[in-house]
């Protein structure tokens, strides 16, 4: 069984993300005094009095709108309620009870969930005058200040008190392979995640920049669970003009750091652009596993010739990431997308692989024949040892480290990969001076 799920719902700008961040003890949800900042459902892990649970932050609820994005936000808020064990409906004490609050309240009641009415922005012990409006709702009404912390302990005691006693306490995602879906805006990241999940989890729209936060979801493929991390699209710096865009870039980078394997999406209709090279370089430097997924392949008229061209481009533009497999997919039409999971399984295994020092030392003689002398003296490798994994890391111990240049480092890496390819993952080689 999974851990209990707590969802926070409410109108726009009532403080849902601030409360979410206080509950999870982090800054995962974007917080800004601007309506409509959170669009997708944001998941975070939380603990209170020894009880572990998942908290979901949702976008601001809009009572009725023809706007495509706002209608999607409303739909996702309701989907969050469907997932939850406990629902926190958040109100704004300063605005009082509004028609939008009452419409959402009516919808929440239809789901037959454990519900807490929580009134936010009560910043002192003397409640705001409009606080009395909320006592007509019936049930438990809790005044809090999500920003200042007033009433927070009482709220959390109420939340965990509503959990079912047989709910499993333990980590939900700690040991699962984590896959970050990364790419420039509008390359199809959320569409791919939705297709892999088999249900709508991310808000999908042709409008560039729809996903602003990184969103985690659990999916299953042939009985094996994975965590999918859908990230905000990363733009070129000159185009990152809004504060929210800057926040999204930071979260995308953090998502890469949290991942085991990054699926980097490239738009088949646009080819490889300069920003793609910079992002793949970032992933390579982070030491994460990497799959290059050429998306929107359904839009290509001559796929055989296009594939050859892409292979040439990948070899040229991503020469530093030659270890990464390439896959052509269509997230929209579900073409070859499930091939991602076997690739991820292999890369995760490769990242955890260890090679004994005895095996590595078989390369010593070959290396000593290839390395240049240093100031007229023979450069000599004494032994090689794997010092870490995820990614695999190797230390080469020799007498004159200054003799080793970049081309020698690349030669050592390729020599190791001849026997152990470490498909899909970078490896690190460190040159060390033997002190004895």
pLDDT tens digits, the chain, 436 residues: what are they?
Answer: 357 888 888 888 888 889 999 998 876 554 455 555 444 557 788 888 888 888 888 877 755 555 555 555 556 667 767 777 899 989 998 888 888 888 888 888 888 888 899 999 887 655 555 677 787 777 678 899 999 998 899 999 999 988 875 444 334 566 789 999 998 888 988 889 888 887 655 544 454 444 445 567 778 888 888 888 876 555 555 554 444 444 455 567 777 888 999 999 999 999 999 889 988 998 999 999 999 999 999 999 999 999 999 999 999 999 999 999 999 999 999 999 999 999 999 999 999 999 999 999 999 999 999 999 999 999 999 999 999 999 999 999 999 999 999 999 999 999 999 989 999 999 999 999 986 5
CA atoms within 13 A on the CB side of 203: 29
- Angstrom distance (rounded) from CA 302 to CA 373: 52
**Phi and psi torsions of 106, nearest 5°:** -60, -40
pLDDT at 96: 86
Does the model's pTM come out above 0.85? no
Strand partners, 266: 294
pLDDT at 400: 93
- Angstrom distance (rounded) from CA 69 to CA 57: 17
**Phi and psi torsions of 298, nearest 5°:** -65, -20
- Angstrom distance (rounded) from CA 265 to CA 182: 6
Query: Do residues 260 and 351 touch, judged by C-beta distance below 8 A?
Result: yes
pLDDT at 95: 86
Within 10 angstroms of residue 114's Cβ, the number of other Cβ atoms is 17
Fold match between domain 5-161 and domain 178-352: yes
pLDDT at 293: 97
pLDDT at 214: 53
First to last CA, the chain: 55
> Residue 54's Cα: distance from chain center in Å?
16
Q: Domain 5-161: which topology?
A: Rossmann fold (3.40.50)
Question: Among residues 192, 182, 199, 203, which one has the least CA distance to residue 296?
Answer: 192
pLDDT at 434: 83
Write the burial class of residue 335 (CB in 10 Å: 0-12 exposed, 13-18 middle, 19+ buried).
middle
Superfamily designation of domain 178-352: P-loop containing nucleotide triphosphate hydrolases (3.40.50.300)
Q: Domain 357-433: which topology?
A: GMP Synthetase; Chain A, domain 3 (3.30.300)
pLDDT at 45: 82
Query: Do residues 43 and 56 touch, judged by C-beta distance below 8 A?
Result: yes
- Angstrom distance (rounded) from CA 99 to CA 374: 80
Question: Among residues 189, 337, 350, 194, which one has the least CA distance to residue 261?
Answer: 350
- Angstrom distance (rounded) from CA 190 to CA 207: 12
> Residue 283's Cα: distance from chain center in Å?
13
> Residue 285's Cα: distance from chain center in Å?
17
Structural tokens at position 332: 């929209």
Per-domain boundaries in the chain: 5-161, 178-352, 357-433
């Amino acid at each position: 069984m999974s851990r209990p799920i707590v969802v926070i719902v409410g109108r726009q700008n009532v403080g849902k993300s601030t409360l979410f961040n206080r509950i999870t003890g982090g800054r995962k949800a974007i917080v800004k005094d601007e309506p409509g900042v959170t669009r997708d459902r944001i998941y975070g892990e939380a603990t209170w009095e020894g009880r572990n649970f998942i908290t979901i932050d949702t976008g601001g609820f809009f009572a009725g709108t023809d706007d495509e994005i706002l209608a999607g936000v409303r739909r996702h808020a309701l989907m969050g309620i469907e997932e939850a064990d406990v629902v926190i409906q958040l109100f704004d004490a300063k605005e009082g009870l509004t028609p939008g609050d009452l419409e959402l309240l009516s919808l929440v009641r239809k789901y037959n969930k454990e519900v807490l009415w929580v009134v936010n922005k009560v910043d002192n012990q003397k409640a705001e005058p409009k606080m009395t409006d909320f006592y007509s709702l019936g049930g438990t009404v809790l005044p809090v200040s999500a920003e200042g912390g007033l009433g927070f302990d009482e709220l959390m005691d109420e939340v965990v008190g509503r959990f079912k006693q047989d709910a499993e306490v333990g980590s939900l995602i700690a040991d699962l392979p984590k896959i970050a879906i990364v790419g420039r805006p509008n390359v199809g990241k959320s569409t791919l995640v939705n297709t892999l999940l088999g249900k709508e989890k991310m808000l999908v729209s042709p409008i560039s920049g729809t996903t602003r936060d990184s969103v985690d979801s659990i999916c299953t493929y042939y009985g094996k669970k994975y965590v999918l991390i859908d990230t905000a699209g990363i733009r070129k710096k000159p185009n990152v003009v809004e504060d929210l865009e800057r926040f999204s870039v930071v979260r995308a980078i953090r998502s890469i750091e949290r991942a085991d394997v990054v699926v980097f999406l490239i738009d088949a209709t646009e080819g490889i652009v300069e920003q793609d090279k910079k992002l793949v370089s970032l992933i390579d430097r982070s030491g994460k596993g990497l799959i290059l997924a050429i998306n929107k392949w359904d839009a290509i008229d001559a796929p055989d010739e296009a594939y050859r061209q892409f292979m040439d481009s990948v070899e040229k533009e991503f020469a530093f990431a030659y270890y990464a497999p390439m896959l052509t997919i269509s997230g929209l039409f579900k073409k070859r997308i499930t091939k991602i999971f076997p690739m991820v399984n292999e890369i995760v295994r490769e990242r955890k692989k260890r090679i004994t020092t005895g095996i590595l030392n078989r390369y010593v003689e070959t290396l000593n024949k290839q390395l240049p002398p240093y100031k007229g003296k023979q450069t000599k490798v004494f032994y090689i040892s794997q010092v870490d994994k995820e990614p695999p890391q190797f230390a080469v111990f020799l007498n004159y480290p200054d003799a080793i240049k970049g081309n020698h480092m690349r030669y050592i890496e390729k020599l190791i990969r001849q026997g152990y390819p470490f498909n899909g993952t970078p490896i690190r080689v460190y040159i060390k001076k033997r002190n004895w």
